Amino acid sequence: MNDRKERIALLRKRAENKILILDGAMGTMIQKHTLTEDDYRGERFADWKQDVKGNNDLLSLTQPDIIKDIHLQYIAAGADLNGTNTFSATTIAQADYAMEDLAYEINFESAKIARAACDEWEAAHPGDVRFVNGAIGPTNRTASMSPDVNNPGFRAISFDQLRTAYKEAVNGLLDGGADTLFGGNHFRYAERQGRLVCD
């Protein structure tokens, strides 16, 4: 099923008739592969100026086959909604690796990989449509409290910066083929609000 509107209509109909199953954690599935720094870098980032091991979202660019296989495993296990490999794919979180300029691309490619896995499953199992759930994780900075106990009014990030970062992530996810969006693990109000109003 190639049309997003048709998929969303089907998703709504399916949700009225059954409990939809979310996939499981991407990070623990990635850990099973015991990837090295070189695996994370791939050819494209072989000469990157700092270590990138642990940047699981980057694997959508450097190890897309591994990410697709993880999606297919969850789909085969019965997942209706399959989350993209984008838990830390905002400009804010990617700045830890000096990769903030890759945030849109990571979101786009991650959604594209998940879409390809869902489409591959449907091609092999006609009528068994699965859905791409664009994952939007928390940032590693907070606008709701100070990281400096000596300066309680200080904020490491502004609400507008959060909104801008989430908007870029959402655009990449939707452009890449996500059917739905899922914000997970946000425990601070300002971050949740920034995600919701990213226009």
123-151 residue pLDDT tens: 999 999 999 999 998 776 555 555 555 65
H helix and E strand count, the chain: 9, 3
Give the model's confidence band at 198: pLDDT under 50 very low, under 70 low, under 90 confident, else very high: very low
Nearest to 22 by CA among 62, 96, 80: 80
Retrieve residue 27's tokens.
């990070």
Helices 159-176 and 103-124 pack at an angle, to 10 degrees, of 30
C-alpha–C-alpha distance, residues 195 and 163, integer Å: 6
Tell me how crowded residue 68 is: count the other CB atoms within 10 A of its CB.
18
What is the share, in percent, of the chain residues with pLDDT greater than 90? 73
CB 197 within 8 A of CB 103: no
Chain segment 43-75, per-residue pLDDT in tens: 999 999 999 999 999 999 999 999 999 999 999
Global pTM reads 0.88
